[in-house]
Structure 1
């Protein structure tokens, strides 16, 4: 299993799923970490108290609501345990991680090809088209380094008008 591909696929699914709230995502991430720690085992046994602490959930009812929601929405399979020493069994769903692009979804490579083959199209505000034809978004970092706006950091100097004369 590729950790990054699985995590990116989960984040993409979160983006398009309006049923989720931050607590669902926090619980899923806590479960994902447990899954990663178990080397992406087919099934894992979890302790509710530990998951609640990791996900920053303070209420048992919130935990149970979120984990049953994640189960019913097919993010995982949840098998509750009545044995406090064993823990509940979880089977994490492997969210689509195919290398083939999903039809109907945003694909930056296809967008770049479209830009290359349709040069008449007006450039999008905030983008720059260098000589190599690749679109560069001026608001995104280029080498992994975050760009910080200096809009509010520039000191304005007051110029006093000299009387004409």
Structure 2
């Protein structure tokens, strides 16, 4: 049951947030899945294509816009690396 706590907390937090769309939810769910697959590393480090594959998103502009939105809205902290050979850091917010 511990594995579902981040998702349940996220859904409670976005309940009345009209800025969040299905793409944001898909990316957040993919991030939680990636976090679990990588032994709950905090911060997690990931390439955008790894998360995009899990979230079933093919456009990198959509991914980057939604991740920046989630960062700006306070649902996670995103530290992009801006380097092709270095993963970006992502901190999930605990609700």
Using structure 2 for the length normalisation, give the TM-score.
0.88
In structure 2, relative to structure 1, the CA distance for the partners of 1:40 and 1:16 (3 Å cut) is farther
Q: Which residue of 2 aligns with 1:93?
A: 93
Q: Report the RMSD for the aligned CA atoms in angstroms.
A: 1.6
Separation in structure 1 between the aligned mates of residue 37 and residue 7 of structure 2, nearest angstrom? 14
Q: Which residue of 1 aligns with 2:23?
A: 23
Pairing 1:40-55 to 2, within 5 Å after superposition: 40-55=40-55
Q: Which structure features the higher share of helix residues?
A: 2
- 1:42-85 C-alpha deviation (Å, 9 max, x unpaired): 20111111211211112111111100000011111101012212
Q: Which has the higher contact order (CA 8 A, sep 6+)?
A: 2
Task: Provide the secondary structure at the position in 1 that maps to 2:66.
Answer: helix
Task: Provide the secondary structure at the position in 1 that maps to 2:15.
Answer: helix
5+ residue gaps in structure 2?
A: none
Separation in structure 1 between the aligned mates of residue 36 and residue 14 of structure 2, nearest angstrom? 19
Larger Rg: 1
Separation in structure 2 between the aligned mates of residue 93 and residue 10 of structure 1, nearest angstrom? 9
Using structure 1 for the length normalisation, give the TM-score.
0.53
Separation in structure 2 between the aligned mates of residue 50 and residue 9 of structure 1, nearest angstrom? 23
Separation in structure 1 between the aligned mates of residue 21 and residue 94 of structure 2, nearest angstrom? 20
Task: Provide the secondary structure at the position in 2 that maps to 1:16.
Answer: coil
Q: How many residues align?
A: 95
5+ residue gaps in structure 1?
A: 96-165
